[in-house]
Chain A
Amino acid sequence: MTGITPSQTVGPYFKYGLTPNGEYAWNDAFGNDLVTPDVTGERIRIEGQVFDGDGQAVADAMLEIWQADGQGRFGDPQDAAHCRTRRFVGSAVVAPINTVAFRSVPSSRDPCPVRVASHRRRTLSLPSMPGA
């Protein structure tokens, strides 16, 4: 048996490493467009804002999502298929103030956002402490 490695704050400086978006000398492994040419289904755009506990918009929150494709299949090798997980940083440059957007295809049978208990929705990392 081995103990789990603890998590630590992502800190304020993750952008150049995880979501450089052309602003640093590094490439993105992910983007915000999950639609590949071979997928079927209705194209949708998901957008919203991220707020901190004081109701202030967070300009550089990184969101990560994953979902099944239009046939309800996951891209994971444990399922079969097309859909890929992407990540995106909300930015005033890309969209109006602190808006984040994903373009995606709705799944026919994926209820994951409601099935995952709130304490297990580990899909949002925030710079919880300044300067970390």
Chain B
Amino acid sequence: MSELTGPVYGHEAVRERDNDLTVQHSGEPIGERIIVHGWVLDEDGRGVANTLVELWQANACGRYVHVVDRHPAPLDLNFTGAGRALTDAQGHYRFVTIKPGAYPWGNHYNAWRPAHIHFSVFGHSFLSRIVTQMYFPNDPLFTFDPIFNSVADEKARMRMVSSFDPENTRPDWALAYRFDIVLRGRNATPQENH
């Protein structure tokens, strides 16, 4: 049973507006407002319902609110950069946020991270737990980024790249990107087996 069970976190932990990173402060954050949504799926492509999706990211200038980040780009008093959502019965999640900026990170000469959003997802079993990064399509920095390229298989690597989603764009308000997350494991009903 211990391998089949997963974390339980109390749904009170996710508040109604935790999935909108543009309304967490008194004013609106600076930057390009975007909708990031998708499905959390198991290996058979079935939606993983009611699972916790957390994200964190830099602001539009490529600056994290984390105290260790010393990149000389401005912080945005109206943007923390953290969000949280539960998937619905079909495994769908949705965030509203600001498109993060690229930033230099000193790994090698003129090293810049492509714009990305960090994701943490649990799924129904602890073995399905994943921490990953979502990228944006056609980023010119992909070629130069050792973290993106640490996934050697190109097909697998491209699964970390969201797709531009004009259908879910909200006209006159925000562009949309779709990012599906496929977890390890098949979401079959577990058998009691101690």
Contact = CB atoms under 8 A, between A and B. Distances in A.
Interface of A: 1-18, 20, 23-27, 29-30, 64, 66-68, 74-79, 83-85, 109-112, 115-116, 120, 122-123, 125, 129-132
B13 A78 contact: no
A29 B132 contact: no
Given A13-B66, A66-B6, A116-B3, A3 B13 contact: no
Identify whether the interface residues of B are mostly helix, strand, loop, or mixed.
loop
A28 to B, nearest CB: 8
A79 B1 contact: yes
A5 B83 CA distance: 20
Given A66-B6, A130-B105, 15 more contacts: A3-B155, A4-B43, A8-B147, A11-B118, A18-B54, A23-B67, A24-B80, A24-B82, A25-B25, A29-B13, A74-B8, A78-B124, A78-B190, A116-B2, A129-B147
B60 to A, nearest CB: 16
Contact of A25 (B24, B130, B190): B24
B64 interface: yes
Contacts of A9: 131, 133, 147, 150
A16 B81 contact: yes
Interface of B: 1-10, 13-15, 24-25, 41, 43-45, 52, 54-56, 64-69, 80-84, 105-107, 111, 113, 118, 120, 124, 126-127, 129-133, 146-147, 150-151, 155-157, 159-160, 180-184, 190, 194
A4 B107 CA distance: 28
B7 A64 contact: yes
A122 B56 contact: no
Identify whether the interface residues of A are mostly helix, strand, loop, or mixed.
loop
Contact of B157 (A6, A109, A129): A6
Nearest to B151: A6
A6 B4 contact: no
A4 B82 CA distance: 24
Contacts of A111: 2
- Which of B45, B107, B129 neighbours the largest number of chain A CB atoms within 10 Å of its CB? B129
11 contacts: A4-B184, A5-B130, A6-B156, A6-B159, A16-B56, A16-B64, A17-B82, A24-B80, A76-B6, A110-B1, A122-B129
B50 to A, nearest CB: 9
